[in-house]
Amino acid sequence: MRQIILDTETTGLAVEDDHRIIEIGCIELRNRRVTEHRFHCYLNPEREVDAGAAAVHGMTWDKLRDAPRFGDVVEEFVAFVRGAEVIIHNAAFDVGFLDRELERVGVAWGRLSDYCSVFDTLKLAREMHPGQRNSLDALCKRYDVANAHRTLHGALLDAELLAEVYLALTGGQGALGFEVIGATDAASEEAVTAARQRARPPVVRLAPSAEELAVHAARLAVIDQRSGGRCVWLASDL
């Protein structure tokens, strides 16, 4: 299975206020293994960056004026995510911004869902840890993912952290020990799928012998006699 861990940074919080994407970071997973394939770019948002957003990621319009616009990288981005399962923390936020950027380039580009499926780790975390904080930072702490080196948010850095968190949320790092060394990607994926779907062995039920039942009954009779007829096992219908 090909999966893409994706994160963005923006000029502000509300896409409805014409805020724009300033950074996209993507990391590829194959068979639950992080590969060397990356998609990363900074973008010229063609507008000022809100002070609150700049305090989070450290980027300003002055730093981004010479960066490409989304339309300059859209073909490369779409090619990178096409056919994959894209994993995002708080997916509604990033998908909303990406859909708006695609719309700006031209209606023919459609929406992100036209190219890939989307999996929201925030939704999964809320199901697994109801009533708890489930921000990326909180999940890093909960699953012992080191993030002390992060003083500012960045799309690629956050995607790297999310990759570790996602693997922890869904069963741990790697292919759960089922990956065949030296196998092709397709063969390895089939091995992992087969291992996950393999039925558990049936439970063996051992029935007591007639001799064992007789010994048990005799023991209960002794207990009942010594307790003055108050043996609970004899009184029970179980």
Q: What is the pLDDT of residues 89-117, one digit of tens each?
A: 999 999 999 999 999 999 999 999 999 99
User: What local confidence, expressed as pLDDT, does residue 210 receive?
Assistant: 84
Q: Please count the CA atoms within 13 angstroms of the CA of 1 that sit on its side-chain side.
A: 15
Helix (H, G, I), strand (E, B) or coil at 176: coil
Catalytic residue among 19, 57, 89, 153: 153
Q: Which residue bears the tokens 């397709």? A: 186
Lowest-pLDDT choice from 67-76, 138-147, 174-183: 174-183
pTM score: 0.71
What pLDDT shows up at residue 202? 56
Contact 10, 94 (CB under 8 A): no
- Do 59 and 52 touch, CB atoms closer than 8 A? no
Q: What is the pLDDT of residue 222?
A: 79
Residue 188 reports pLDDT greater than 70: no
**For the chain, what percent of residues have pLDDT higher than 90?**
68
Q: Is the pLDDT of residue 153 over 90?
A: no
Instruction: Label residue 238 by pLDDT band (50, 70, 90).
Output: very low
Sheet holding 117-120, edge to edge: 33-42, 21-30, 2-10, 85-88, 117-120
Q: What pLDDT, on a 0 to 100 scale, did the predictor assign at position 219?
A: 80
Please state whether 188 falls in left (phi above 0), alpha (psi between -120 and 50) or beta. alpha
* CA dist list (Å): 106 to 19, 39, 99, 100, 110: 18, 22, 11, 10, 8
Nearest to 80 by CA among 26, 42, 23: 26
Active site residue 149: no
User: Residue 200: pLDDT band by 50, 70, 90 thresholds?
Assistant: very low
Specify which residues 34 forms β-bridges with: 29
